[in-house]
Amino acid sequence: MQTREERQKLLDNLSEGVRRVLTVGTSGKQAYKRPDEVDLDNDEVVLNGSGIPIVMKGTPGRRKKAVLSPISTQVAEVCQAREEHVASDPLISTVRISSESDKVLESILTALAEDAAVIDFEKEEAFRNGASAANLATKRARILKGMSDIWLRKKSLSEGGVIDLDSPVFKEVFSLLLETFRGVLLESGVPPEHVETVFAKLISSFDDAWKEDARRRMRQASR
């Protein structure tokens, strides 16, 4: 056990730039504290194997990302052009406006189609110059596969008016319905403990079988 004087001496001899020192309280919980926050009567200063306090230098938290300057004027121009390109990218703009919008899928399909077209051009150029285009063909096939998956997903969501029960939008609306139902029960004089019992049974009934039945009814209603 350290004495009060020993703790004070350890703090007084901390090297310059120390922001935090590791301590352990009477409860056994460790914490980094500023030297002036250390309780000399109750906080033990934690030492390493050499008897030196374990400290933290710099500002606590995640280290800030270093900002590197371009190595030349030409590189700076490329960096600026890239930033302007990203800022004007339609897919990024669509996601920023509304990540739940159907236009996000449309923008993704458009971006993938553009990439597929560029790769197709490069493939034809490779053929024209007598070079191998196998790698380009594989890349294009992978993009087209991704496009087909997205298109089928979009089609399944919109065709027949079937709602995606796992989407964040549906979960928010459904949560609002449940909250409204709970409020109506309470306002109607139903004892709170009975309301909780009803909701416990209600929520447990929303399993995979319920979801499948809901999808079946939506498909039938859309016919």
Distance separating alpha carbons of residues 26 and 37, to the nearest angstrom: 15
The DSSP bridge partners found for residue 45 are: 23
Please identify, among 123, 142, 161, the residue that sits at the C-terminal boundary of a domain: 161
**Do the domain assignments include residue 204?**
yes
Distance separating alpha carbons of residues 193 and 88, to the nearest angstrom: 55
Do 182 and 206 sit in the same domain of this protein? Answer: yes
**Do the domain assignments include residue 62?**
no
Q: Per residue in 110-128, pLDDT tens?
A: 888 888 888 888 888 888 8
Mean pLDDT, the chain, whole residue set: 81
Do 82 and 156 sit in the same domain of this protein? Answer: yes
Distance separating alpha carbons of residues 70 and 68, to the nearest angstrom: 7
Determine the structural domain holding residue 85 and report its residue range: 73-161
Do 120 and 101 sit in the same domain of this protein? Answer: yes
Distance separating alpha carbons of residues 42 and 29, to the nearest angstrom: 12
Q: Per residue in 171-197, pLDDT tens?
A: 888 888 888 888 888 888 888 888 888
Do 39 and 93 sit in the same domain of this protein? Answer: no
Do 47 and 94 sit in the same domain of this protein? Answer: no
Confidence of residue 222 (pLDDT cuts 50, 70, 90): low
**Do the domain assignments include residue 202?**
yes
Is the confidence at residue 223, as pLDDT, over 70? no
Do 177 and 214 sit in the same domain of this protein? Answer: yes
Q: What is the pLDDT of residue 28?
A: 81
Distance separating alpha carbons of residues 30 and 114, to the nearest angstrom: 55
Please state at what angle helix 168-187 crosses helix 192-204, rounded to 10 degrees: 150
Do 118 and 190 sit in the same domain of this protein? Answer: no
Q: Per residue in 36-79, pLDDT tens?
A: 899 988 899 998 888 889 988 765 556 666 667 778 888 888 88
Distance separating alpha carbons of residues 63 and 56, to the nearest angstrom: 12
- Look up tokens 């929520």; give the residue: 203
Q: Per residue in 95-107, pLDDT tens?
A: 667 666 667 777 8
Distance separating alpha carbons of residues 160 and 182, to the nearest angstrom: 31
Q: Of 174, 160, 181, 179, whose CA–CA distance to 211 is shortest?
A: 174
Q: What is the count of structural domains for the chain?
A: 3
**Do the domain assignments include residue 199?**
yes
Per DSSP bridges, beta strands 44-45 and 30-33 are unpaired
Q: What is the pLDDT of residue 23?
A: 92
Please identify, among 125, 142, 161, the residue that sits at the C-terminal boundary of a domain: 161
Do 84 and 147 sit in the same domain of this protein? Answer: yes
Do 26 and 84 sit in the same domain of this protein? Answer: no
- Joined tokens for residue 141: 């096939």
Is the confidence at residue 1, as pLDDT, over 70? yes
Q: What is the pLDDT of residue 160?
A: 56
Number of H helices, E strands in the chain: 8, 4
**Do the domain assignments include residue 67?**
no
Do 80 and 154 sit in the same domain of this protein? Answer: yes
- Joined tokens for residue 51: 């008897």
- Joined tokens for residue 135: 């790698």
Distance separating alpha carbons of residues 49 and 158, to the nearest angstrom: 65
- Joined tokens for residue 217: 């009814």
**Do the domain assignments include residue 65?**
no
